[in-house]
Amino acid sequence: MLYRKTITKKKQKKQKNSNFLIKIKSHLNSYIMNIIEIRVAGRFKLCGRIGTGSFCDIYQGINVHSGVEVAIKFEDTKSKYPQLLYEAKILQNLQGGTCIPTLHWCGPENEFNVLVIDLLGPNIEELFNRCNRKFSLKTVLMIVDQLITNMEYIHSKNYIHRDIKPENFLFGLGKQSHNLYTIDFGLSKRFRDSKTQEHIPYREKKPLIGTARYASINTHKGIEQSRRDDMESIGYLLVYLMKGRLPWQGINAKNKDEKYIKIKDQKLGIPLKELCADLPIEFANFINYCRGLNFDEKPNYRLSKKWFKELFYKEGYEYDNVFDWILIPLRNNHPSIFTCLPLTIDFEDEEKEETIREQKLAGEKNKQENEENQEGREEGSKNEEENYRIMEQNNKMILSQRHKVTNIKGGENNTARRMYTEPPNSLKNNQNKKEKECVIF
């Protein structure tokens, strides 16, 4: 027992030391990149490491000529199973779809095979963890609509993906932050001839290719994969996003083969009602439909999307691209987090921004005009008061001229009294009543 404990302690120390060395290497790499400018193909500058895949390392870069940010994949040319150049060929054939990142460059560079594509945002798994591993029904339904659309496009180009998992679906950046992209075509395969449209033959005793957690039952049985298997894997992915885990996660086994057998037995043994318990019936119907497809049968993508869209509008949701991770800053009252998350609420076009600017300018102009009109009215009222005062003075002058001073003799003292003399009869009708009643002493 003591011997075993010492061995485990030594292993733990070795692991800690190895992790420490990995951290030091990553810091040194970033430090070296800041000092020495490393370029790929003469125009793509390396900025730092952003992740690692199963067969390659991924770095962030920038095109020094255009300023476009890119993701750069490196694969050792001496690896046992090189896949990067094969993935580049598939990406080249898939170019043109809104769900496919742009291929900027691919080729050998010193001791590495290099692939340069668009820099994308976080994947579904990362966003799922940010939301405490719980998505709302609205978010899942908006995601599944794009998932099925992506698979429809890839299948229309005569390819199947064969590695459906949340890490292989990434959202874009900036104005494309609501757009879902599909990546990692290293395990993809052509299922149909592009010229003759002939489907690949049915085969058995095939090894499991892809991620066992989301693999279809036919894949576990060793049957050649086709379009139906990609669709069934999407069904398991949806259940995972709704519930946070799948029943066959966390299985203990001695090796991979034993683990795959246990996962297959659980998938066959769990009925769909139990797998999709507490979920809308559309999820179970979708998985059941995918399982019932024939090997070379084309899935009805439109019908599948229709089921989920009807559920979406039945729940009263609005397709506004407001996903759960967009609402995290509002819940935590931390607006600064918006800078770390992809923004999905954006303008459809720059024209909308211009119209809003024009409306603001028009509003400011109206305010200025209203202020000028108010000033003009105040000046006009002042001028009216002055004119009224001048008119009163003129009226008094006229009245004083019409008065006639008469001396009235009476008693010892003579008093001079000015009395109002009425105008002649021709002018009486033209005079005001005030003038008639006015007597000035």
* Count of positions (residues) in the chain: 441
Examine the residue annotation and report whether 163 is marked as an active-site residue of this protein.
yes
Can you tell me whether residue 123 is helix, strand or coil? strand
Q: What's the N-to-C CA distance of the chain in angstroms? A: 134
d(CA 163, CA 286): 19
- For residue 158, give Cα distances in angstroms to 85, 198, 214, 303, 390: 19, 10, 22, 20, 95
d(CA 368, CA 257): 78
Q: Is the separation of the CB atoms in 326 and 345 below 8 Å?
A: yes
- For residue 127, give Cα distances in angstroms to 51, 55, 134, 138, 171: 16, 23, 10, 15, 10
Q: Which of 57, 145, 163, 230 is catalytic?
A: 163
> Which tokens hold the place of 172?
């874009």
Nearest residue to 243 via CA among 129, 135, 124, 131: 135
Show which residues are catalytic: 163
